[in-house]
Structure 1
Amino acid sequence: MRRKERKRNDRPGRGEGHPPIPPRDSALVEGRTTARRMLVLGAALATGGFLARQPLYSAGVLVALPVSLGLYLWLLRSVKGAEGLTPGEAQKVFMRRAFIRMGLCWAVLLLSAGGGPAFLLGVLSGLVLQMLSYLVEAFFLVWRKA
């Protein structure tokens, strides 16, 4: 007996009663990619600190990593939540959150100054992980084109 070949849309679970799968939001996908890249870079920096026998530096990176990641995701949510706003209102929301984020970063840096120079440098490295992840992405884009 021969098997009946199925058409592409004739798979189980894809009947007519099911809603279509919504397209992926490119900003959300990019945000997740950046967050993953920040985690990998943070782990690499902390591991490098331990290998260089600088445990305070590694501790600083590990303390700042969740702060940096949380502030990045908070800022990303402000961009995602600005869909129904006018461009001027969306810019105000984004800039307000960016200034709050900057103030929180300064507060974390000031609090970490008591841990010594290595800890302070580790916290600073952990707070700039978003920028480092963008630099890594730019490097790979240039490297692929060359």
Structure 2
Amino acid sequence: MVDELRSRIMRAVKSKNTAPEMAVRKLIYAMGFRYRIHGTKLPGSPDLVFRSRRKVIFVHGCFWHGHDCKRGSRIPRTNTEYWLKKIKRNCARDIESVNSLISDNWKCLVVWECEIKNEAHLREKISLFLEKNEKLDGGESLSQG
């Protein structure tokens, strides 16, 4: 019974149009920036694409992408080995996607789910990223949070 319930819950987890992504999209739109969503032709399918600026934003869930915050560093009590491997694969894929984008002269920013609570900080972070002209280091942009 518990496994069936867990499976149903996990199937309901969305990968697109999540609450954190929608909050970031709403904020960026209110800031006056326009974008495309879910860049399927780009590595990692970035959540927001600013093609004319050659910039992308990924909105990552802290748990699913292994962030070092309280929520992201939780270890599941059941099926632990599976979940740790899955999160590790997600992190490796994220790094690979960002590196590929950077090598194609795209600038990348990762917004973590936990950052959405502090709208002033998030607004500043996004504004600096979108208005900044020089190239950001991929590791720097990936580790911000």
Answer whether TM exceeds 0.5 for this pair.
no
Larger Rg: 1
Q: TM-score, normalised on structure 1?
A: 0.38
Q: Which has the higher contact order (CA 8 A, sep 6+)?
A: 1
By percentage of residues, which structure has more helix? Answer: 1
Q: TM-score, normalised on structure 2?
A: 0.38
